[in-house]
Amino acid sequence: MGTVQTYTEEQFTEWNEALEGKTPQEILKWAVEEFQPGLTMACSFGGPSGMVLLDMISRIDTSVEVFYLDTDFLFPETYATRDKVIERYGMMPIGYKSKLTPEEQAKEHGDQLWLKDPDLCCSIRKVEPNGRALEGKQAWISGIRRDQGESRGDAPIVQWDEKFGLVKVLPLVSWLEADVWAYIVKNDVPYNPLHDQSYPSIGCTYCTKAVKPGDDPRSGRWEGIDKTECGIHTGGDVIQIETADAK
């Protein structure tokens, strides 16, 4: 475990005032200088923002750890995008899985948990593994943007992540979707091919649908369910999972 660092509200205010208006690259360089080697970056290989950040960080410091959440329900195209990243950048993303296999989850909670209790399914397969990915870290980089919905509309560049107990840095928070894709085209950044098939936001196979033109980009996630977030970027406790080996 890393050393627990405490920060004041004034510290975050100073950081955000200093970084507001800076480019994502400048914010990333600041994060590397401030937190590396205790810095890690999330990249799902299912969103364009994560791919842009990965390209940027590869030009700044390839020693920054990159992780993804392997839910066991990812699209083949998502794994293929991960493999392209390894080939293109020579970086080896670390995959974190749930402590429960899909079979163990079905045995303990019933079949198709994603339909009966999608919040619990996300907690088991995404939120808890995300917590393990962040253990011992000082800060993590996320691709959240303010234009991604009301729940993210006032997100600061730097914030204290109460859920996981470390600093969260959002270099692209002020960018628009058009800015992200302009960077991808200009720099020939690899991206998930499902984006070209009307999938603007890509998660697990069972909970991701294509989106009609003009609809909210995240409307294809958990279609028909009053749910817009997996739980990683919202409040609440991280579920504790006890495996059979630990019982």
The domain ranges of the chain are 9-235
Which residues are catalytically annotated? Answer: 230
Closest by alpha carbon to 155, among 172, 138, 140? Answer: 172
Q: What is the pLDDT of residues 102-119, one digit of tens each?
A: 999 999 999 999 999 999
Determine phi and psi for 172, rounding to 5 degrees: -100, 15
Q: What is the pLDDT of residues 175-227, one digit of tens each?
A: 999 999 999 999 999 999 999 999 988 999 998 888 877 776 666 666 656 55
Average pLDDT value over all residues in the chain: 88
Query: What's the CA gap between 119 and 127, in Å, rounded?
Result: 10
111 Cβ neighbours under 8 A, 6+ residues apart: none
242 Cβ neighbours under 8 A, 6+ residues apart: none
pLDDT tier at 1, thresholds 50, 70, 90: very low
Determine phi and psi for 196, rounding to 5 degrees: -85, 0
Query: What's the CA gap between 86 and 161, in Å, rounded?
Result: 29
Burial call 69-102: b when 16+ CB within 10 Å, e when fewer? bbbebbbebbeebbebbeeebebebeebebbbee
Q: Which pTM value belongs to this model?
A: 0.85
Give the CA count within 13 Å in the CB-facing half-sphere of 71.
Answer: 23
pLDDT tier at 148, thresholds 50, 70, 90: confident
Q: For domain 9-235, give its CATH number from 3.40.50.12160, 3.40.50.11540, 3.40.50.620, 3.40.50.720.
A: 3.40.50.620
